[in-house]
Each structure stands twice: as structure tokens, then as C-alpha cells.
Structure 1
Amino acid sequence: MTARIYQIQKNGMQSGKARTDKWVLEYVAAEGKRADPLTGWAGSGDTRQQVKLTFPSQEAARAYADREGITFTIIPTGPKTLKIQAYADNFR
């Protein structure tokens, strides 16, 4: 079992910073998705793809993975940049 540990990023529709301090552990897909012959929906037999665990810190996620014997990769958080702009800049 391998997993990814990463910090939740703010999406494009979000102006605040709610839930961006949480860390997520999610399993890497063991098999690819395939189309169901009856419905055509994509699916797989790997049920671990449905599991997404959240933790308050990176250390807590790392401790959980170590305790359960899960090999993991930590995806670092990108730098946060602020674009300081005045309202008057929209009319230049």
C-alpha cells in the first residue's frame, strides 16, 4: 500500500482560508479504472481509492502511516503568493 500526504489547497472559488490547514492521506490507485460493460461508467475493484483521511498536521498523518505500515510520499505545499492590487489598477 502506498499513499500520498498533502495539504489541502484553496480552490479557485474560495476566497477565505477555511480548511487549508488540514493534511490529507489518500491511497494511490492500485489498478486503473475500466468501463462497465452494462452502464459504461468508469469503475475499479480497488476500494482504497475511496478512502481519504484528514489530519490536523503533517506529523499526525506521518505518524498514522508509520503506525499502520503504509509507505507514503509527502507532496510539499507550494509557496503562497499574494497579488496586491488596487481597484484603480483595473482601469489602466
Structure 2
Amino acid sequence: MPVWYCRVCGLDYDESPWGPDNQSPDYSICHCCGVEFGYEDYTPDSTRRYRAEWLANGASWFYPKVKPANWQQAAQLRQVPELYR
């Protein structure tokens, strides 16, 4: 099964919220960083700005109830696709 990673925080998903063509966002919200797929992560620059703001504000989970007990922020951020780092 392919894995897709959030462009902002690197959280892994079973399906791409950008659709199979990687061009058709569903505008859902990342459980970790709260980015709205297709809006704040539309370009590499907007993605980097959103990530910088998210990190500067403490990198809180948008849905804290799903945050893994052993969450490793640095490891997750390494999963951000290269184009969006």
C-alpha cells in the first residue's frame, strides 16, 4: 500500500488528500499540523511558510486525541517530501 506524507509536517496517510493525480486536493485537514490540503500547501513556498508558523507556535497537534504517545517531531519532519522542505 502506498504511503503519502503531509507536505507541511510529514505525517503519513494511506491515501493522498491530493488525489491519485497529485493535483486534485480534497481540502481535508491534516490531523497533526492542521493544514488544509490544497489551500495552505498549494505551493512549495506557501507550504514552507505554513510549516514555519506551525513550528514557531509550538507545533501543536490539530487533533490532539490522535497524537501518538511516542511522537517524534524531528523524525516526522524528515518525511516531508523533498520539494516542500
TM exceeds 0.5? no
| Alignment TM-score, normalising by the size of structure 2 | 0.24
**Structure (1 or 2) with the greater strand fraction:** 1
**Structure (1 or 2) with the greater helix fraction:** 2
Larger radius of gyration: 1
| Alignment TM-score, normalising by the size of structure 1 | 0.23
